[in-house]
Amino acid sequence: MEKQKRNFLDVIRKLPIESHTLLLIIILILVIIFFSIVNADKGFLSARSVNSMGIQLAEIGILAIAMMVTSLVGGINLSVNATANLGAVLSGYYLYKLFPPPPTGGIAAIFTQINMPESVDPFILVVALLIPLVVGVISGILNGYLVGYIGVPPILATLATMSLFTGLAAGLTKGRTITGFPTQFEFVANQSLLGIPLPFLIFVVLTGITFVLLNRTTFGFKMRMLGTNEVASRFSGINNKDVIMKTYIYSGFLSSIAGIIVMSRTMSAAYEYGATTYVLLTILIGVLAGIQGGFGNVINIFISMLILQGLSTGFQMLLQGVRGSAFFKDFSWGVLMLIIFVINFFTRKSDRKSAKS
């Protein structure tokens, strides 16, 4: 029995795929099979359901990649969601200033409804979409400077910027939600290409770009070196400060793209959107994907996102109408993480035994 087990593990190791990636693929297949059976009458894999999942997972998945790249260099970025929200709010604020509502609404109407005309100059719309991207880059520069040049611990630096960005967005909107975006903004979230939602395609493209960046460029090598051993990285001639700065700029840029998708999907902007869950979700996805300083695969982020979205949608369908059903989703995520931890523990234990023998 022990010999068969050893032979099976040897076969797994020889596969042209990381063991953790293979584990996630197996879990994804099991999730799809299980919910396809129990939700057969509700169409878990129907075109409508898959389309909806593709739209929902994109924004969190992109934020998870933004979190991942900072984790690879031994950091963290707690401000990813606040950056996304601030970019959307500033874009809405820009449009509000150009097209304010009629003065009849009183104080209650301030920063609530943009009075958009039927015809809008395309240049105005382009600027409105560029504002979040600029905000993302600026947030990355600020985080990168604090972490890389001043030496503030990443968790403290990004916690401070998260509070700063959230406070700025809340102050501009007086705590209200900005609505009334031009219908052209719906293009990002509501268009499809060959039946595939555009947000999901954006997520796939950004996953591919990040994969190439991390695995096919010298900058990706420097990121992994820095995350593995900061001192060794510095003595090997790598400019750690420059790598940290560029990493956080990329993280902020990704966050702003997620903010544009949210803005397009909801046709609104709010300082508190996803504030209670999105950051924790990105950390959860990173843990599930096995991301740590110097080590990690963006493909694992992609698969982990599919798993969590499958669990979320599957339990929502299965327990539709049941009070407190959200508990089962959170419960399943926690159980899944524990299973991953246990499997990884025994895998590493087996690897150590094999190395000794």
Q: Are 165 and 82 in contact (CB under 8 A)?
A: yes
Structure tokens at 209: 């770009």
Q: Which residue is associated with the tokens 């840029």?
A: 253
pLDDT of res. 67: 96
End-to-end CA distance of the chain: 18
Q: Are 238 and 306 in contact (CB under 8 A)?
A: no
pLDDT of res. 103: 65
Q: What is the pTM of this model?
A: 0.87
Distance in angstroms (rounded) separating the CA atoms of residues 289 and 292: 9
Q: Which residue is associated with the tokens 């869950």?
A: 277
Amino acid letter, residue 216: R
Q: What's the sign of the alpha-carbon dihedral 194, 195, 199, 201?
A: negative
Residue 290, SS3 per DSSP: coil
* pLDDT tens for the 357 residues of the chain, in order: 555 555 544 555 555 567 788 888 998 999 899 888 887 777 777 878 888 888 888 999 999 999 999 999 999 999 999 999 999 999 988 988 888 776 654 444 445 677 777 677 788 889 999 999 999 999 999 999 999 999 999 999 999 999 999 999 998 888 888 888 888 888 888 888 877 889 999 999 999 999 999 999 999 999 999 999 999 998 889 999 999 999 999 999 999 999 999 998 888 888 888 887 889 889 888 988 888 888 889 999 999 999 988 888 887 777 776 665 566 666 666 777 777 777 767 666 665 666 565
Which residues are CB-contacts of 175 (< 8 A; sequence separation ≥ 6)? 271
Ramachandran sector of residue 324 (left: φ over 0; alpha: ψ -120 to 50; beta: rest): left
From 341, 247, 211, 329, select the one nearest 287 (Cα to Cα): 341
Which residues are CB-contacts of 207 (< 8 A; sequence separation ≥ 6)? 61, 65, 298, 299, 301, 302
Find the angle CA(10)-CA(16)-CA(18) to the nearest 5 degrees: 80
DSSP 183: G
Burial code (b: 16+ CB inside 10 Å, e: under 16) for 227-257 equals: bbebeebeeeebebbebbbbbbbbbbbbbbb
User: In terms of C-beta density within 10 A (0-12 exposed, 13-18 middle, 19 or more buried), how is residue 109 classed?
Assistant: middle
pLDDT of res. 353: 64
Q: Are 57 and 309 in contact (CB under 8 A)?
A: yes
CB atoms within 10 A of CB 32: 16
Amino acid letter, residue 227: G
Cα–Cα distances (Å) from 214 to 75, 225, 231, in that order, read 16, 11, 20
Distance in angstroms (rounded) separating the CA atoms of residues 217 and 211: 10
DSSP 306: H
pLDDT of res. 61: 94
Any idea of the CA torsion for 172, 100, 84, 310, to the nearest 10 degrees? Answer: 130
How many residues are present in the chain? 357
Strands (E), the chain: 178-179, 192-193, 196-197, 268-269
